Amino acid sequence: RKEVEQDPGPFNVPEGATVAFNCTYSNSASQSFFWYRQDCRKEPKLLMSVYSSGNEDGRFTAQLNRASQYISLLIRDSKLSDSATYLCVVCLVTGGFKTIFGAGTRLFVKA
Amino acid sequence: NAGVMQNPRHLVRRRGQEARLRCSPMKGHSHVYWYRQLPEEGLKFMVYLQKENIIDESGMPKERFSAEFPKEGPSILRIQQVVRGDSAAYFCASSAGTGEPQHFGDGTRLSIL
């Protein structure tokens, strides 16, 4: 089982749609969680941190369920510019310190 | 520019040569991470450094690859005797502390002829 798993997609949605991405992680020692977006041939950019209490930034809402080891990202009112790959990131301390990126979920928003 | 700076943006080497990739962290950040990304694949963690210390190098190949983050100057990822399979995008990120959000540089695209 992969340490961080994401549905690879692609998700093809019309503008204005609501889309949800899921991510599961295998190590209960995971401590920090983030969502990044990566455009084609570009560097990953931090979208938001993820907290147990859930957090919202405009059209984006992230949630963490530690009991189920599950992270989600909800995008409301999708824009064309939201088209990208969304990466789930987990940081954990296991003797050393590791940052593990999911393989990403591709999103295509169409007019 | 207060962001993470990587250079060069593109690097071409012949098999057997050495490649040196540089990364200057964001101002105020003392934690540096190196990742490798192959086309159509996800980022793979390579190494995590703080000033003058390697904290975790569990993702580094055992041979030919090394990394440093000296007291003065940028972090360096060094690949000796490059092979075709080393062709990839190498990203550097920095953070203010362990577990803090990481901010990425533009990456170095390494091509091996």
Given this model, what pLDDT does residue B1 score?
52
User: What sign for the dihedral angle of Cα A99, B99, B65, B104?
Assistant: positive
By Cβ distance, the residue of A31, A93, A101 closest to B43 is A101
Q: Is B45 on the interface with A (CB under 8 A)?
A: yes
- Which pLDDT band holds residue B22 (cuts at 50, 70, 90)? very high
CB contacts < 8 Å between A and B, how many?
Answer: 53
**Is the per-residue pLDDT at B41 higher than 90?**
no
Distance from CA of B2 to the nearest CA of A (A): 15
Mean per-residue pLDDT, A34-61: 94
Residue A57 structure tokens: 């930034």
Average pLDDT, chain A: 92
DSSP secondary structure, chain B, as one string:
--S-EEE-SEEEE-TT--EEEEEEPPTT--EEEEEEE-TTS-EEEEEEEETTEEEE-TTS-SSSEEEE--SSS-EEEEE-S--GGG-EEEEEEEESSTTSPPEE---EEEEE-
On average, the pLDDT of chain B sits at 94
Could you tell me where the beta strands, DSSP code E, fall in chain A?
4-6, 11-14, 19-25, 30-38, 45-49, 55-57, 60-65, 70-75, 84-94, 96-101, 105-110
In this prediction, residue B9 carries a pLDDT of 96
- Return the pLDDT at A69: 93
What local confidence, expressed as pLDDT, does residue A93 receive?
77
